[in-house]
Every structure is written in structure tokens, then in C-alpha cells.
Amino acid sequence: MRDLAALARVSAELGANRLLVQAAGGNTSVKADGVLWVKASGRWLAKAVDEPIFAALDLPRLTDAMAAGDPACETCDAFVRADLSASGLRPSVETTLHAGLPQRFVLHVHCVETISNAVLEDGASRVAPLLDGLKWAWVPYTRPGFPLFQTITPGADIYVFANHGLVVAADTLEAAVALLATVGRRLARPLQTAPTRSARGVERAGYRLADAPALTSHGAKFAAAGTLYPDHLVFLGSGAAHIDSVVGTPPVILAPGCPPLVREDLAPAPLALAQCLGDVAARLAPNDRPRYLTAQQEYELTHWDAEKYRLTLPD
């Protein structure tokens, strides 16, 4: 199918850009002939050309079930077209979002420029003038999956998910990619200048510096203070510690003046999320007021079967 091949190529490009996608985060889809092709859970967009990462679902059955509020829409496993899908693929946790938007192509990314606005208390009012003239909507934080889809009113081309990321939708792939570029450009925030500091002062056995910008003092503080978006919690837990309050050997240590220190044994997925934390923190300004996920919101994520499944997959 030509559209699917084109989507795979674009998905691989998105997946290779760490300012858009980190590890198995993000997902893309196309609708064709009553079938929704959507990225499978836990698969990496970066590998879209090299291996089958798209699951096929029966779109009419799925949308009927969504309209009825069928609990089967939580995993969407029941709507997979086994005759079309490679075996072992489970649909993305965001499948209902892809099914419910009317546009043919839907791209969901964890765009760092978007996130660096979307994690702020006043994110909606900051983003509004920047996206003026586009058909966009702000979506307050809701646990990803069916609950997130249920908070959305179809009708926009762009959705900014608070404390999460970005969705763009269009009837052609070219238009969707163009929207992604436009939003990324308009929401771009300048990199804050960090004080220079000799890395020798923060050297620790078993750690190395991540490939990320140096942290400012406020950036290090903000990044260590809580969970800013779901994949941080899923892959790093509460394991990003400020250098002044390190207990044990957390996966990430945040010290002003140098990039995040990452434990040398980190697997590719947590490493990508550690870099992402550095990329986001580098864009936060001293007067920003970040909004963190509440304890209840963290509990929902860590006790959600779909996320436990994602963690069991190899990188």
C-alpha cells in the first residue's frame, strides 16, 4: 500500500529526530479502505522502514465501539485485523486518538519545543498567540489512551497536549509533515545559556555526560523536581536527581553547568529520555512555572497495564 510505505518513510525520519521522538514514544497512522494502520505499542518509529511496526485495525468496528464507550477500546486488541498485521504487534496505546480524528494521516510526537511550552502552568496562554491563524486546540493533561481521546473534540488540525506533546492531522502526508514543521518553528524556545563549569567537578564513577545541552541552574532544579510528561516517568521513574540531593545511584543526575549525567548501564530507551530531559530543561527560562504530574496522575501511569507492557519490550 503506497500510503503506508510513504508513512513508514516519514515515520523513520521523525523517529530519527530526537527533538521530535524519543525511544518508542510517538505514533503515526493512516486510514485506508476501512483499515487503520497505526504504530504498534513499544515499537520505535525510527525502525519503521526496517521492520513491520504498523498494526492494522478494523476501523468501522473500532469507531462503533468507541462511540459506545466499549472498554475494549482501552487496548484495541479486539479490533486488530490479524489477516493484515504482522504477528506480535499490539496497537499503540493512542490508537483511539488516531481512529477518532477524521483526517487520513495523524502524527503524534513528543516534540521538545512543544513540550517546553506544554509543561508550563500558563502554557495555553503562551501558545495561543504563537499558533494564531491555525486550527489548533489545547488539551489539558489526561492519561494517554482512551481517556485522552475522550477529552478531544475533533475539528482541529493541531492538538497541543499539556504535559505530553503534539498531534497534527491532515488528509495528505505532506500537509501533516508541513504542519509539524510549522508548529515546531512557532513554538521554538531559545536555548538558555548555562554557566560554564568544569565537568571534573561532577565526575562520578559509573556515570557519563549525556549528549545534551548543559543545564542551567534553574533547568537542573526544574528537571529534578517532578514528572513533567508521561514517558519520563515510564522510563526513568523518579530517577532524575539533583546533584545536591543524590541518594544511591539514580539513572540521571542533574548538575548545573553540564549535560545530564547518565548511569553507564542505561538501556537505549531510558538514555533517550534522559537526553530529552536535558533538551527540555535547556529551554526553560528562570521565571517559568512548570506544572508537574500529580501523585494521582503518576499512579495512573505506573498502574496501567499498557505501560507495563511497553516496558517489557526490548529496545
Residues of the shown chain interacting with Zn ion in the complex, contacts defined by CB under 5 A: 165
CB of 217 to Zn ion, least distance (A): 29
CB of 27 to Zn ion, least distance (A): 7
Give buried/exposed letters for 14-53 (b at 16+ CB in 10 A, else e).
bbeebbbbbbbbbbbbbbeeebbbbbbbbbbbbbbeeeeb
Distance CA 80, CA 75 (A): 10
Closer residue to Zn ion (CB): 176 or 194: 176
Distance CA 172, CA 180 (A): 13
Q: Which of 167, 149, 226 lies closest to 20, judged by CA?
A: 167
Q: CB of 189 within 8 A of CB of 117? A: yes
**CA–CA distances in Å: residue 183 to residues 133, 144, 158:** 12, 21, 8
Closer residue to Zn ion (CB): 103 or 216: 103
Closer residue to Zn ion (CB): 165 or 219: 165
Rounded to the nearest 5°, which phi and psi values hold at 242? -70, 145
